[in-house]
Structure 1
Amino acid sequence: MSESTLQRGAELQGLSTAILLPGAGLFGDRPGRGLTDVGPLTSIGGLSLFQRTVLTLQRGGMRQLIVLAGSDEELLKHALARGARVTIPVRWMPVREFPLDDPRTWESLATEVRGFCLIAGVQAVFSKGLIEHLRQSVRDGEALVVTREAGPVEPALGRRNPAVALQEGRLISFHNHPGQEGHQVAADLVVLPASILTPPNGAAASPSGAAEPAGMIPVRRWLERAAVEGRVRVVAAAAHAGLWYRDVWDHTSAGLAERTLFRSLKGEAEGFVDRYFNRTFSRLLTRLFLRMKCSPNAITMVATAVGILSAVGFGIGTYSAGIVAALLFQLAAVIDCCDGEVARLTFTESPFGAWLDIAMDNVVHIA
């Protein structure tokens, strides 16, 4: 057996499969009900929520995706075909044939999962680092549930994920009482070993014995049962560690998620002017370039053209021309930040784009 085959087999034993639920939340939303304010095709930072979720998972190291899609399957496929290239296999399973509340759906999925699977909704924006952290944190037979801090404004009760009670980093229970600001709330992002998807016959519906409402996804029941055995660890999302997570349930939360995305673009080696001046104005222009669907390379050429115009102004030699040239040179520096921001936001970075950016910077400096 070849070394590459052995390596791929080892990867599949860990966390390499993601199951996406575009039409439902893991805890609160019933399949098929839909979300009225925003949805999988809502644009955040130049990409739809569904596109961004898929590409973030790909960048985070996922090797295969399974999408349990509803009536919007064709729209989702069309959205995924646009923009950045998806290089991992994507399998589409219609929920009309594989109902999310049917145990047989999850038993069939368990046969395709070796080791662990990540189950995620798409009504959120999260970092590549969070996915990488989850992949590194899996332990045999244990589940992971990602949590976020409750904020001052939370979704309506029918769409709110449960708060969590934990002890020493392990889940004790869920509860539906509104959490106070700063309390931990379950996110639509969990990691489950394949064995949890196929519980033994006769397993209880839930530790409390309460009947599960029709149409509900059984994720909460699985986690509660595993928590009784001490097999659920909690991973708290943390912006300062690059493990950020933002729920999106309305247009206000969508704006907050987009601001979080832009803040994540800061480089560690940026100087004072870049961080507090150029980046402040570049974000405004980046939003404009995203709406205009400009490619990063096209933005690089715009910055180059503005830079060359500034050189012409300096060459004229008059006082007024020098003032205009200085302003144009600063504008070129601001636009020069935008190409990288658009590339990172839309997952369209490339070696050629990096070379072009450096080459055009040198052209402007020589001019």
Structure 2
Amino acid sequence: MTLSLKARSFNVDLIRVVAALMVVYMHTVYNFSIRVDFFATKLWWLLEPLTALSKTCVLLFFMLSGYLVIGKKRSIRENWLKTKQRILIPLLFFGALNIVYAAYLYHFTSANTPAFWQGQLIRITNYPSSPLWFLIVLAYLYLLNPVWHILFTNQQTKTIAVYITKLFFTLSIALMFIAFPSGKVGTIFNFFTSWVGFACFYLYGGLVANRWVSFANQKINTVLMSTGMLLTFVGDVATGWADTHQGSFVWADYTGNFLSLPVIILAVGLFNYLISADYKVIKASGQKLMAWLAGLSLGVYLVHTYIVSILTDLISFNFDQISMNVYLYLVVNFCLVLGSSMIVTLVIKSTPYLRKIIGE
């Protein structure tokens, strides 16, 4: 069901659209820009600000989810039904699709068939390397909504809610500070623990919704964004330089991680800025367009990596396999993935039973 413009928030729709665009950017342009032969080129310097911003994409989704969901009064049964609809059905469908696609690309023999299935189990439990990890984290956070609701709907529990959120933020930052100097030995997160590292963003969204934290000072938000951007830029340059010169240091690719301190600072500042900005000058037509695009955001998030895989694995639309100007390739690749993902999402949304696989 589509909400009327009066019932919608342009700020919320804008964050959804921005985050979805950043996700597509990450899996098209960003994946290309981290190549060693691309570092320090003119295009690399030009794209680095967008690259830094794109690393906030999933964190924006988490904060927005908490902003929209934590304060809603639902029974345990209602929360379970909503979790099943929004999270579990898409997770199961696309999880099965991942296995089917992997099997299609796999060269089965009588000897390696057990290894394939064992690999799929390991991949699932160790943290799937696909957009599904976002749904896994969100599933745990949604299932705990009855607990979050108790903390976030009573002024008397405000202190506890703020404390828990700060505690999770401290844990997330500390995990990454420990992980890199230790050489990232072992698995930091798996299927069962991944939600712990990202719970702080979900809870922070709840604090913002309740106005239990200061977030509307745009000067402070601008400072946060600028600081996060600068630190991310420095980290990316250091990592690129080390990779190019075949060097290594313990903090290599630290700023490539969602839970690095610079990315967290940038994400919080950006979320605060977008959620509190005044968009009264936006005309009704612009609001309708943004609302329509926002309605496609989750579908685009879920299907875009399959478009990327089809283009690279099946069609061989890869920069190393075609003759195309690098500037043109990046633009075409981004537009192809985004446009195709939007079309597929529209088809799914227009088909009653298929809508369930994107949480509708």
Length-normalised TM-score, structure 2: 0.22
Question: Is the helix fraction higher in 1 or 2?
Answer: 2
Q: For the pair shown, which has the larger CA radius of gyration, 1 or 2?
A: 1
Question: Is the strand fraction higher in 1 or 2?
Answer: 1
Structure with greater contact order relative to length (CA < 8 Å, sep ≥ 6): 2
Length-normalised TM-score, structure 1: 0.22
